């Protein structure tokens, strides 16, 4: 089994990490993407939580959850991917 330190070193020395380090706007773009993805994730979760706490009682929970759960999932996937890029870059 490969030690985790070797995996992190390989990621940190990868071409993608090097390109982000050398790029003028690459790191900023990934950072902005990460923040937007976190906004999607937390915005969806907070909206559903507020509905569960009693706000918007006239809205059926299933009708609200149908679009928000996939949005939260996409936000999570993008946040994890961009977070990994940010992590290996710095």
Q: What is the pLDDT of residues 13-41, one digit of tens each?
A: 888 888 988 898 999 999 999 999 999 99
Residue spans of the domains in the chain: they are 4-89
Could you give the 3-state DSSP secondary structure of residue 14? coil
**Cα 84 from Cα 10, distance rounded (Å):** 13
Establish how many alpha carbons lie within 13 A of residue 8's alpha carbon, considering only the half-sphere containing its beta carbon: 6
**Cα 17 from Cα 13, distance rounded (Å):** 6
Instruction: Determine the pLDDT at residue 69.
Output: 97
Contact by Cβ (8 Å): 36, 28: no
pTM for the model stands at: 0.84
């Amino acid at each position: 089994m490969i030690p985790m330190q070797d995996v992190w070193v390989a990621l940190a020395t990868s071409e993608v990490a090097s390109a982000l380090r050398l790029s003028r706007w690459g790191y900023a773009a990934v950072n902005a993407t990460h923040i937007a993805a976190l906004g999607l994730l937390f915005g969806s979760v907070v909206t559903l939580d507020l509905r569960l706490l009693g706000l918007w009682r006239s809205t059926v929970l299933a009708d609200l959850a149908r679009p928000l759960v996939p949005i939260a999932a996409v936000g999570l996937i993008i946040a994890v991917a961009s977070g990994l890029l940010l992590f290996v870059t710095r």
